[in-house]
Structure 1
């Protein structure tokens, strides 16, 4: 996720005594809860209306539990994703935010200013999940069959605010070669596509499929199968917050345990099965 200016809003907060939702002992009063931050409109990965708050929310909570069951935390949903990285983490109002794509930090010369800043200022956890980022168009559009990014030059592309534009930049699809629309959510992008206001939606496959299902547009708009990018989702901490950076290291241990125990597979397969049924 990546984009515009923070919007003031009242966050929804869920206070959790410890990392396992059920019957864990309360933490010592001396322990300051880890302040977790995520947002809505990112199905199937994060949304208050999804079971367990979404797939990645469940993965993060299980990783915390596997790292240390006694760690208390607060979970808050703030829908202005850009505010997470512009203000809420740098100010240490919150410790960790998820899920975020990790840019190719090993190739800084290829990165946009926003992605370069993300690499320089944030600590990333180990990968939680890999996504396939691509382009959706009308099922009748010639753009669905395109095999070269040059075919997208001159088009109107929608990519939600908060999402990195690195995938567009890497494909040579920056303004002014394209016209770029940055609304708040994936649903907003697909509404614009259905209304003929844009030609393409740039987004990962599972979020796109979920948004189309929510709008009742499944089958009318499809993903180009030829032009895709593999990315990974992570928890992030601002490097100025040593407590949060330390927590990322603990999380990495919990993530490794989830992979070994099979819990990662159980959470992911259950979430994806629910999504398939909804579509």
Structure 2
């Protein structure tokens, strides 16, 4: 895979500490509050964590770019960007990306129309429903079997906003969402009638990672620099400060990962 001359200088910086090299090119997505989005403070929590961590590790970065999730991910594979975030683990990603240490651990919850509320006791309690998850979102691992069997039907529009609208219109029964995304994007679509509701227990815990392409020979060094920076942020208190600033009280339902070692 071809890299521009500036990219070669960047990799030399990572290998040898050159202060003259161009910065790393980072890309993230849109419409994922409070984690990523151009309209969010500092580009979202994951964006601020990544940029601050690289700075703490002494690695320069260029201004973060925001692209549709599928396009940004593919451009990392193509070598146009060095790193993307935040992503959960998925089988296809494991085969083509190098994963950082977890940036953040979030719990994802079932979200129901008020008139279709069910007690969530595990995947089988969702049999017969229609789940909406946008293109580019990984399906929860715990639901893979019933999705593959067709016992849980999957609809995939372009965005979570469209999923929220389909849920409120009664065209789907269920979303899988984090509490902050439910409180912002889903509830912003509710205008009248009974509001959508969170289930009574989470579906699973999903660590969020940064990803560099396996085809990039410097991916291990890039990821190691990020991990080093995250560890520094844990140690000096900046990690907690960034999370609290973005979560707005939602941190009670989610947890920070263990610091990288």
| TM-score band, normalised by shorter chain | 0.7 to 0.9
Find the counterpart in structure 2 of residue 83 from structure 1. Answer: 71
Matched, 1:179 2:169: no
Equivalence map 1:1-279=2 (5 Å): 30-68=20-58, 71-79=60-68, 81-85=69-73, 87-102=74-89, 115-143=90-118, 145-167=119-141, 169-170=143-144, 172-216=146-190, 220-273=195-248
1:275/1:224 Cα in 2 relative to 1: closer, same or farther (>3 Å)? closer
* 1:163-193 alpha-carbon deviations (Å, 9 max, x no partner): 1124353463335212211112211111000
How many residues are paired up?
Answer: 234
Q: Is contact 1:45-1:55 (8 Å) kept?
A: yes
CA distance in structure 1 between the partners assigned to 2:143 and 2:249 by the alignment: 33
CA distance in structure 2 between the partners assigned to 1:192 and 1:168 by the alignment: 23
**Regions of 4+ moved over 3 Å:** 27-30, 168-171, 216-219
**TM-score normalised by length of structure 2:** 0.82
Following superposition, the deviation at residue 216 of structure 1 comes to 4.1
Q: Is contact 1:43-1:207 (8 Å) kept?
A: yes
Q: Is contact 1:39-1:47 (8 Å) kept?
A: yes
Find the counterpart in structure 1 of residue 9 from structure 2. Answer: none
Query: Structure 1 unaligned runs (5+)?
Result: 1-26, 103-114
Query: Structure 2 unaligned runs (5+)?
Result: 1-16, 252-261
CA distance in structure 2 between the partners assigned to 1:264 and 1:64 by the alignment: 13
Q: CA RMSD in A?
A: 2.4
Q: Is contact 1:168-1:174 (8 Å) kept?
A: no
1:52/1:74 Cα in 2 relative to 1: closer, same or farther (>3 Å)? closer
**TM-score normalised by length of structure 1:** 0.77
SS of the equivalent of 1:174 reads helix
Following superposition, the deviation at residue 74 of structure 1 comes to 3.5
CA distance in structure 1 between the partners assigned to 2:216 and 2:108 by the alignment: 30
1:43/1:217 Cα in 2 relative to 1: closer, same or farther (>3 Å)? farther
Q: Is contact 1:31-1:72 (8 Å) kept?
A: no
CA distance in structure 2 between the partners assigned to 1:164 and 1:266 by the alignment: 28
